[in-house]
Amino acid sequence: MDWGLKNRISRIIKPEDNRAVMLAVDHGYFLGPTERLEIPRKTIRPLLKYCDSIMLTRGVLRTSVDASFPVPIVLRVSGGSSIIGADLSNEKIVTSVRDAIRLNVSALAMSIFIGAKYEHNSLVNLGNLVNEAEEYGIPVLAVTAVGKELEKRDARYLSLSCRIAAEFGAHIIKTYYCEDFEKVVSSCPVPVIIAGGPKLKEREALELTFNAINAGAVGVDMGRNIWQSDNPVPMIKAVRSIVHEHANVQQAYDLFKKLVKEPQKPLAISQKQNNKQKPTKQKK
Ligand code: R5P
């Protein structure tokens, strides 16, 4: 593996333990202002220092993340359909590798839609993106099984999706947890991380995380189960404890409950100002 590619992957999957906590906040690219991600900066800011990397679009990156904060960026570059559009699987690469380099990203992310109407296009997108990104030593994260395809969430379907993504050259695969998840991981020759999916009770989300790690996932790319929690910071810390500190479900849940009871540290003044910008008066 080329030095640059290896270096970028190590920003995402920590070499100390081969594990990853990625915070997913890219939902708006097809869902619009998702609940509790309506003001991205407000959602992202308190969580930034607890994730190893963050997955988002260039629009949210440029407007809602401080360029001086050293968090590795996983940039979503596919899109083109919305939740109310004709077919979610009809995506193209909508952000150039050139712009991704300008943004100093650590990886590019795009979706593939196995079994969907636009399966072919999404796979060709993946092959082309890997060709281009590898020129610059940038890894590609393939996202599998979003939207309708999620209904087929079983080991057979997810193994098929993940394996195909790896065969096309994806360096990391994001998928969903399912029964017999070991089969998905063992038949995929590159690291697998899991999405959290729709909001669960906190204990259940921690169980999902634990089971996935136990079955061989290197980590999570989790969104709603963190920032739709009433207590997002305790939740991401509890997820981290499973991914990086070998906590079991009970230990992680106990940590979550303990952190919920602790008084929240007030935000620094500059952060407060950023979150609550006063409207400026228009000159007549
Ligand atoms: C979907 O295409 C997006 O990539 C999301 O980032 C993904 O669904 C992960 O977020 P969540 O944990 O909320 O499912």
> CB-based contacts of 213: which residues, under 8 Å, 6+ apart?
19, 219, 242, 243
CA–centroid distance, residue 135 to ligand 1 (Å): 27
Read off the pLDDT of residues 60-75 as tens digits, 9 standing for 90 and up. 999 999 999 999 999 9
Residue 196 beta carbon below 6 angstroms from any ligand 1 atom = yes
CA–centroid distance, residue 146 to ligand 1 (Å): 8
**Beta-strand runs (E) in 156-196:** 172-175, 192-194
Q: What is the mean pLDDT of residues 220-249?
A: 98
State the pLDDT at residue 153. 79
CA–centroid distance, residue 283 to ligand 1 (Å): 42
Relative to the CA of 25, which ligand 1 atom is closest?
6
Residue 111 beta carbon below 6 angstroms from any ligand 1 atom = yes
Which residue's alpha carbon is nearest to atom 3 within ligand 1?
27
Q: Measuring CA to CA, which residue among 245, 219, 209 is closest to residue 19?
A: 219
State the pLDDT at residue 267. 56
Q: What is the mean pLDDT of residues 249-262?
A: 97
In Å, how far from its chain's centre is CA 201? 19
Q: What is the mean pLDDT of residues 260-271?
A: 68
Domains and CATH numbers, the chain: 3-228 (3.20.20.70)
Q: What is the mean pLDDT of residues 39-66?
A: 98
Q: What is the mean pLDDT of residues 16-37?
A: 97
State the pLDDT at residue 263. 78
Q: How far apart are CA 120 and CA 282, in angstroms?
A: 51
Mean pLDDT score of the chain, rounded to an integer? 92
Torsion sign (Cα): 35, 39, 44, 45: negative
Q: What does the DSSP 8-state code read for residue 54?
A: E
Tokens of 224: 């709603």
Q: Residue 41: in which H helix or E strand, if any?
A: helix 40-44
3-class state of residue 144 by DSSP: strand
Q: Identify whether the C-beta of residue 124 lies closer than 8 Å to the C-beta of residue 113.
A: no
Does position 208 have pLDDT exceeding 80, yes or no? yes
Percentage of residues of the chain with pLDDT beyond 70: 90
What predicted TM-score, i.e. pTM, was given to this entire model? 0.92
* Of the candidate ranges 10-14, 147-151, 246-250, 266-270, the one whose mean pLDDT is the lowest: 266-270
